[in-house]
């Protein structure tokens, strides 16, 4: 067997080359004896992730794609730290600078590229580096410990990523760019300016339209001098102005070289048995510097080496997604409006969203997205497919794929490109899910979730994942009985029925009796059980605070940086000068970084340190709003008949009454109410869980609205005459929801699931309504203000304070 194997040598241990080998191993695992030479002293790693390493949160070891064990287990001979010095294409042999020789039958050149270093006087000084490999990354990290000022030359993708990383390392960073706006190769000016503004807010500085002329300093860099005579101080200069295909080895070995190593559609060079892929290769005049084309080339080459017939490589349309933290930018194709094209633009300065579609002869040829890049993959696949988008321009620009939705869901899924992202939260493509099903053997949504993370976060893509499962697994798809979480196979209704039947009274008891597979449950089932038990036994059940979600345990909303926000209860959105003054004084006293109006007409004190929470609640001496729990949030109101010339009823009074009636109520998911004083509906009551709209002589009651992920307008429940009737119906509706919805299920989903008619039928009879109302009052009667309790009780308050060590033992 070994004798019949051909010898394959790969020069370059980077992403492109090793990816091709991975492909080849799948197609023809035993065809070759493989030897890989890499100049860097590391196994194959993900160069794209270097910016994540710099930006923090990722360790160098985490970006290794294939560790040494992978090479061993595939019998690949690996030489790291070995640079190939020469290729003997006649005797088919390569030789490293350290004297190691290897013979080959097939040779792949994947030598990548070198950073282009501007030939400035002084560029050889200490503190002038590129941003290309692990070594550069380490130098930046080291430098940041002793020096402050960094300059990045180059306002392109790479430069901005380097700058963001340096910022994260605590350096002062200025980006020097020769063009008058940044990322001009991917973005148009509008998007670039929005991006710059965003990055400036993060602390980055920009020196635009600046041509670098010389680097000054003795041994180490001191400053950078520009052609206009000005200069900027710097302890570190990172050049990120571009890359240059690394062709030196090919050139001196007699292999044809243009900008890169010239290859045909099958990645063959002019020398038989020698191939080139990746950044070092030039295909149809283009040397690519992004990862997707390199992977496509690798796949084509692997097929060729495995002897599999396949289409050649025809070049790639590239797209860019900026990975700089907190900024979503996407561009693809020809974004700069070439002759004969037209551009459609959408710009929303308030939310910081910009979209541009470039269209030529009814086809989409380019797109730029800023701020909202959710449609990027879809637009990119339209650019690649080249299909006509006539009549769909508007929906594409505004992100509403109405035509597409009309097609049958499975046909749409089938037609979808492999690289289109299904799960936006975790970046899982259709192809990855298909692979998990066809080769990974996943037969349920749960398995796909565990294998790929698709639908593991917000779950909005679950219908698509289910569709793909049906498409690819067909009959093999197991409709595994999914319980409320992975700890049980029981669904919500079964659990609630069992709790009632056996009179189970604690979370632990439920888990024991109903045979939970995880002894202590998980973050999904514990809060659900806590809710169901409290709903069923309001007067007996002792709420289990450790089973509450974070926001409800700390009675404030946790923010991304670990701080919290406090929203004082302001009934109906009506406040007084006295209350405002108190809030303002507390905000000043505790240095609250931001005071913001919420969408529900309340004041949000953002950025509060955990240990300050009890002190703030104490000084405010106002209920702190339950603004982030699964509970009644706010009752939004318009001015109504109190001041408005159109108002037909007292919407403010009604709103305040409802908020006082239902505050502190535990509900399956958050509940929002609104009261509008006339059908103009200024309080937006028709996208609330329970919306009240005043009409002449009465009130319309609406239910099941949602302004969130899936916008849904309310359904009309009924029309009533008096304020008391509004409260009666609201109580009955909310209690019926509390008793029948799953935990975490908004009224909008619940109304759609059970149908409005079933709810109407349950509330139709006045006696039933009053009974529901009685039960909701019982539930409300046992609620307390958790803030007062925490302020008063040392034992609860301690959890907000850090421990201080007692002594060194």
Partner 1 sequence: MTKMHIGNVADIDRKGSRTLKVNDMEIALFRLSDGEVLAVENKCPHKGGTLSEGMVCGSKVHCPLHDWRIDLHTGKVEDPDTGCVPTFEVEVDPATGAVYLTV
Contact residues: partner 1, CB under 8 A? 57, 62, 449-453, 456-457, 518-523, 526-527, 546-547, 549-550, 553-554, 558, 560-562, 610, 798-799, 802-809
Q: Which token pair is 653?
A: 């009074």
CB of 602 to partner 1, least distance (A): 22
Q: Pairing mode, if any, of strands 32-38 and 77-80?
A: parallel
Q: Which residues contact 417 (CB under 8 A, 6 or more apart)?
A: 377, 380, 381, 384, 385, 430
Q: What tokens does 205 get?
A: 């500085």
> What's the alpha-carbon Rg for the chain, to the nearest Å?
32
Give CA–CA dist 760/532, Å, rounded. Answer: 23
51 or 96: whose CB is closer to partner 1?
A: 51
Minimum CB distance to partner 1, residue 58 (Å): 8
What phi and psi values does residue 253 have, to the nearest 5 degrees? -100, 10
Q: How far is the CB of 783 from partner 1 (least distance, A)?
A: 22
CB-neighbour burial class of residue 711 (10 A; exposed 0-12, middle 13-18, buried 19+): exposed
Q: What are phi and psi of 31, to 5 degrees?
A: -75, -30
Q: How far is the CB of 148 from partner 1 (least distance, A)?
A: 18
Per the CB < 8 A criterion, the answer to whether 714 and 702 are in contact is: yes
487 is in an annotated binding site: no
- Which residue from 191, 189, 22, 49 is spatially nearest to 110, judged by alpha carbons? 22
Our CB check for partner 1 shows the closer of 303 and 449 to be 449
Structure tokens at 795: 């034992």
- Write down the least CB distance from residue 457 to partner 1, Å: 7
Q: Cβ(95)–Cβ(85) under 8 Å?
A: yes
CB of 802 to partner 1, least distance (A): 5
Shortest approach of partner 1 to residue 809 CB, angstroms?
5
3-state class of 205 per DSSP? strand
Question: Is 461 annotated to bind ligand?
Answer: no
Q: Which is nearer to partner 1, 315 or 459 (CB)?
A: 459
Complex with partner 1: residue 264 or 799, whichever CB lies closer: 799
CB of 486 to partner 1, least distance (A): 11
Question: Would you call 673 helix, strand, or coil by DSSP?
Answer: strand
Least Cα distance to 566 among 522, 602, 528 occurs for 602
Residue 566 β-bridge partners: 605
Rounded CA-CA distance 572/559 in Å is 25
With a CB cutoff of 8 Å and minimum separation 6, the contacts of 509 are: none
Give 77 or 517: the residue with its C-beta nearer to partner 1. Answer: 517
Closest CA relative to residue 193, chosen from 181, 208, 209, 203: 181
Closest separation between CB of residue 414 and partner 1, Å?
26
Cβ distance to partner 1 smaller for residue 170 or 203: 170
Which pair of structure tokens corresponds to residue 662? 């239902």
Closer to partner 1 at the Cβ: 562 or 578?
562
548 vs 712, beta carbon nearer partner 1: 548
The secondary structure element, H or E, covering residue 618 is helix 613-620
Phi, psi of 586 (to 5 degrees): -65, -40
How far are the Cα atoms of 555, 565, 567, 598, 619 from residue 607, in angstroms, in the given order? 14, 6, 12, 14, 17
What lies within 8 Å, CB to CB, of 290 at 6+ separation is 318, 320
Q: Is 678 assigned a ligand-binding role in the annotation?
A: yes
- Smallest distance, Å, CB 550 to partner 1? 4
State the minimum distance, in angstroms, from the CB of residue 49 to partner 1.
12
First to last CA, the chain: 65
Minimum CB distance to partner 1, residue 689 (Å): 24
Find the DSSP H helices in 129-262.
134-146, 157-168, 189-201, 248-252
Which of these, 196, 185, 191, lies nearest to 369 by C-alpha position? 191
CA distances, 449 to each of 2, 466, 744 (Å)? 40, 11, 19
Which C-beta is closer to partner 1: that of 349 or that of 561? 561
Tell me: is residue 458 an annotated ligand-binding position: no
Nearer to partner 1, 47 or 449 (CB): 449
Nearer to partner 1, 331 or 744 (CB): 744
Query: Nearest Cα to 113, choosing from 298, 276, 302?
Result: 276
Q: Beta strands 172-176 and 205-207: pairing type? A: parallel
In this complex, which beta carbon is closest to partner 1, that of residue 62 or of residue 588? 62
Nearer residue to partner 1 within complex by CB, 430 or 712: 430
CA distance 366 to 361: 12
Least Å distance between CB 597 and partner 1? 24
Tokens for 61, please give them.
């070891």
Q: Which is nearer to partner 1, 254 or 486 (CB)?
A: 486
What is d(CA 516, CA 487) in angstroms, rounded to the nearest whole number? 5
CB of 35 to partner 1, least distance (A): 30
> What gap in Å lies between CA 35 and CA 22, rounded to an integer?
13
Q: Which is nearer to partner 1, 83 or 553 (CB)?
A: 553
Q: How far is the CB of 521 from partner 1 (least distance, A)?
A: 6
Of 166, 194, 172, the closest CA to residue 181 belongs to 194
Check if the beta carbon of residue 305 is closer than 8 Å to that of residue 8: yes
Decide: helix, strand or coil at residue 42. Answer: coil
Output phi, psi for 215, to 5 deg: -105, 125
Kind and range of the H or E run holding 693: strand 690-695
Positions at the binding site for siroheme = 682
Positions at the binding site = 638, 644, 678, 682
């Amino acid at each position: 067997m070994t004798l019949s194997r051909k010898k394959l040598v790969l020069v370059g241990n980077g992403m492109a080359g090793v990816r091709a080998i991975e492909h080849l191993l799948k197609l023809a695992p035993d065809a070759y004896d493989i030897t890989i030479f890499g100049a860097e002293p590391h196994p194959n790693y993900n160069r794209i992730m270097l910016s994540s390493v710099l930006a923090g949160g990722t360790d160098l070891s985490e970006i290794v794609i294939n560790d040494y064990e992978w090479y061993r287990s595939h019998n690949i001979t690996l030489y790291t730290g070995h640079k190939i010095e020469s290729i003997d294409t006649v005797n088919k042999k390569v030789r490293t600078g350290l004297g190691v020789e290897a013979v080959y039958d097939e040779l792949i050149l994947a030598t990548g590229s070198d950073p282009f270093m501007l030939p400035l006087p002084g560029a050889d000084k200490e503190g002038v580096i590129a941003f290309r490999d692990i070594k550069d990354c380490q130098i930046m990290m080291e430098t940041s410990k002793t020096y402050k000022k960094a300059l990045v030359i180059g306002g392109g993708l790479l430069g901005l990523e380097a700058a963001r990383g340096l910022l994260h390392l605590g350096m002062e960073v200025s980006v020097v760019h020769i063009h008058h706006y940044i990322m001009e190769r991917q973005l148009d000016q509008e998007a670039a300016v929005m991006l710059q503004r965003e990055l400036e807010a993060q602390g980055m500085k920009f020196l635009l339209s600046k041509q670098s002329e010389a680097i000054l300093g003795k041994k180490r860099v001191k400053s950078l001098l520009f052609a206009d005579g000005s200069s900027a101080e710097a302890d570190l200069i990172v050049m990120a102005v571009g890359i240059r295909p690394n062709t030196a080895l090919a050139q001196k070995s007699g292999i044809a070289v243009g900008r890169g190593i010239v290859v045909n559609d099958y990645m063959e060079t002019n020398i038989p048995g020698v191939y080139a892929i990746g950044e070092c290769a030039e295909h149809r005049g283009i040397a690519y510097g992004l990862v997707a084309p390199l992977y496509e080339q690798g796949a084509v080459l692997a097929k060729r080496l495995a002897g599999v017939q396949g289409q050649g490589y025809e070049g790639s349309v590239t797209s860019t997604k900026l990975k700089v933290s907190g900024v979503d930018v996407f561009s693809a194709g020809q974004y700069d409006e070439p002759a004969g094209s037209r551009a459609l633009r959408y710009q929303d300065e308030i939310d910081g969203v910009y979209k541009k579609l470039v269209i030529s002869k009814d086809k989409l040829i380019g797109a730029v997205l800023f701020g909202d890049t959710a449609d990027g993959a879809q637009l990119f696949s339209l650019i690649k497919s080249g299909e006509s988008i006539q009549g769909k321009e508007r929906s594409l620009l505004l992100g509403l794929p109405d035509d597409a939705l009309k097609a049958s869901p499975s046909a749409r899924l089938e037609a979808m490109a492999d690289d289109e992202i299904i799960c936006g939260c975790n970046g899982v493509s259709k192809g990855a899910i298909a692979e998990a099903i066809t080769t990974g053997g996943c037969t349920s949504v749960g398995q796909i979730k565990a294998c790929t993370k698709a639908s593991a976060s917000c779950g909005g893509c679950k219908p698509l994942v289910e569709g793909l499962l049906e498409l690819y697994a067909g009959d093999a798809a197991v409709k595994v009985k999914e319980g409320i979480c992975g700890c049980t196979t029981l669904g919500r209704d079964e659990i609630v029925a069992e709790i009632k039947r056996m009179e189970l009274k604690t979370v632990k008891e439920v888990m024991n009796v109903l045979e939970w597979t995880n002894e202590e449950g998980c973050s999904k089932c514990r809060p659900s059980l806590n809710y169901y038990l409290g709903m069923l036994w309001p007067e007996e059940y002792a709420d289990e605070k450790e089973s509450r979600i974070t926001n409800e345990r700390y009675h404030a909303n946790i923010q991304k940086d670990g701080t919290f926000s406090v929203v004082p209860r302001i009934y109906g959105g009506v406040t007084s000068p006295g209350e405002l003054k108190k809030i303002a004084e507390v905000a000043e006293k505790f240095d609250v970084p931001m005071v913001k109006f919420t969408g529900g007409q309340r004041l949000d004190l953002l950025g509060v340190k955990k240990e300050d929470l009890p002190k703030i609640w104490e000084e405010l001496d106002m209920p702190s709003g339950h603004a982030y729990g699964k509970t009644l949030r706010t009752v939004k109101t318009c001015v109504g008949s109190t001041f408005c010339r159109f108002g037909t009823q007292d919407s403010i009074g009604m709103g305040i009454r409802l908020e006082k009636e239902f505050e502190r109520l535990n509900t399956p998911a958050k509940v929002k109410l609104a009261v509008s004083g006339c059908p103009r509906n200024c309080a937006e009551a028709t996208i609330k869980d329970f919306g009240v709209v005043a009409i002449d002589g009465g009130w319309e009651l609406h239910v099941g609205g949602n302004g969130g992920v899936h916008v849904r307008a309310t359904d009309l429940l009924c029309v009533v005459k008096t304020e008391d009737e509004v409260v009666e119906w609201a109580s009955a509706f909310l209690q019926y929801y509390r008793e029948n919805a799953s935990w975490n299920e908004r009224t909008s989903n619940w109304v759609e699931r059970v149908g409005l008619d079933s709810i109407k039928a349950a509330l139709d009879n006045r006696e039933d309504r009053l009974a529901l109302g009685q039960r909701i009052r019982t539930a409300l009667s046992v609620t307390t203000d958790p803030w007062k309790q925490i302020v008063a009780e040392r034992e609860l308050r301690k959890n907000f304070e850090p421990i201080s060590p007692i002594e060194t033992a």
